[in-house]
Structure 1
Amino acid sequence: MDAHHTYETDQPTFAEGKISDRFLTTRGALENYVENDRMPFWTTQDTRNAMVATMIPGGAAIAAFALFARDKETVDWWSTQVKKPDWAPSDVRLYSIMDILALSPLGYASYLVYKSGGGFDYTDTRLALGLYGANMMFALTTIPLVKKKNLGCLWKNTLMVHLTAAGAAYAFYKIDKQAGMWMIPYAVWTGFYAFLTYSIDKENQVMKDF
């Protein structure tokens, strides 16, 4: 077949060929489009979807903050009874604020991946969003673990939060660089969280031995 032969396609192509009412293109441009079919056009519906996606992790972080702020027993336990390293902030509200800041961009990033990654038709997109979903599950599990005052399970869970966050950030970046960049602060923060909860668990195990 002639590489310069003109074919008809249902999608507009600007890389090669001519723009017409029937969207005429060359074979090379058509193959390039098929190989890189990543739904490149942003619509008002996409804006609405991105806003809804943004509200999910951000709303969860705000809800967790409100829950802890009203739970005086848990706040007092974390602030006064739990022994922490000297470098660790003592106010539980600071952690909640950092959670809100780190979590808020994640919904937008996940929608960028869904949009740029061609939806759930692609394995890499399913993997990236699967890691993101697993991360949200582990993050939500933190709430009951803190309320149960289970430091051993808490640090193991925060380690899983960090690992899935780092994995999702890498998978997001491979699909959409901007989405991956939005994930980096969250991955760093969860890494700090994992190290902090591990250190806290070790500090309090030493106290139990005495």
Structure 2
Amino acid sequence: MEMVPAWAPAVGFTLLPHVGVFLGSKITKREIPTWYQTVQKPSWCPPNWVFPTVWGTLYTSMGYGSYLVWKELGGFNEKSVVPLGLYAGNLAVNWSWTPVFFGAHKMGWGLVILLLTTGTATATTTSWYNINKTAAYLMVPYLAWLSFASALNYWIWKNNHKKK
């Protein structure tokens, strides 16, 4: 029987968050040059190229953090259900933002999703802190970016939703 190389779980956990980027890329590639270009944005909105750069870095950091938690707890077992379950929930909520905001053009629901993402990321970070402090610290830039992204999403929603 062939053993899995020792580095494989680290690579797998680190790459896992990028699945959402891959799944949402068709939507963003279609909507950024068309719909998103017409959306009013604040002066403090970064240029479009910043977003994939930042998200790629954040996904790599949090993915590696999840590996550290998994390794510290001895894999998938009773002890890892809550910290890795919170993380899985966070990824699912995070990945849902692109189809809602860019695909359906639901800016208000996008904001709700970002706030839920921030809440689940905070719960994940808190649960990781007593398991592996490095893993928790790797989540801090993600939490900061989620705060910024929420403020940006709020501004865009407030200044672009249809007035009744």
* Normalised TM-score (structure 2): 0.85
- Which residue number corresponds to residue 42 of structure 2? 85
> Partners of 2:140 and 2:163 in 1: how far apart?
38
Change in CA separation of 1:45 and 1:170 when aligned onto 2, cut-off 3 Å: farther
1:129-169 C-alpha deviation (Å, 9 max, x unpaired): 11110111011111211111111111100111111112211
Q: Does the residue aligned with 2:17 lie in a helix, a strand or coil?
A: helix
- Which residue number corresponds to residue 95 of structure 1? 51
Equivalent AA in structure 2 for residue 54 of structure 1: T
* Normalised TM-score (structure 1): 0.68
How far the C-alpha of 1:69 sits from its partner, in A, is 5.8
Give the count of matched residue pairs. Answer: 159
> Partners of 2:28 and 2:78 in 1: how far apart?
42
> Partners of 1:209 and 1:65 in 2: how far apart?
29
Aligned ranges 1:126-141 → 2 under 5 Å: 126-141=81-96
CA contact (8 A) 2:125 2:139 kept: yes
- Which residue number corresponds to residue 159 of structure 1? 115
- Which residue number corresponds to residue 20 of structure 1? none
* Residue number among 135, 138, 155 corresponding to 1:182 in the alignment: 138
CA contact (8 A) 2:24 2:98 kept: no
- Which residue number corresponds to residue 148 of structure 1? 104
Instruction: For CA contacts below 8 A with separation 6 or more, give which structure has more relative contact order.
Output: 2
Question: Which sections of structure 2, spanning at least 5 residues, go unmatched?
Answer: none
Task: Provide the aligned C-alpha RMSD in A.
Answer: 2.2
Change in CA separation of 1:175 and 1:162 when aligned onto 2, cut-off 3 Å: same
> Partners of 1:68 and 1:48 in 2: how far apart?
30
Question: Which sections of structure 1, spanning at least 5 residues, go unmatched?
Answer: 1-43
1:159-180 C-alpha deviation (Å, 9 max, x unpaired): 1111111221121122101111
> Partners of 1:144 and 1:65 in 2: how far apart?
7
1:174-201 C-alpha deviation (Å, 9 max, x unpaired): 2101111111111111121112111211
How far the C-alpha of 1:94 sits from its partner, in A, is 2.2
CA contact (8 A) 1:57 1:107 kept: yes
Runs of 4+ in 1 over 4 A off after TM superposition: none
Aligned ranges 1:1-210 → 2 under 5 Å: 45-61=5-21, 63=22, 66-68=25-27, 70-71=29-30, 73-79=31-37, 81-89=38-46, 91-119=47-75, 120-122=77-79, 125-145=80-100, 146-205=102-161, 208-209=162-163
> Partners of 1:105 and 1:153 in 2: how far apart?
27
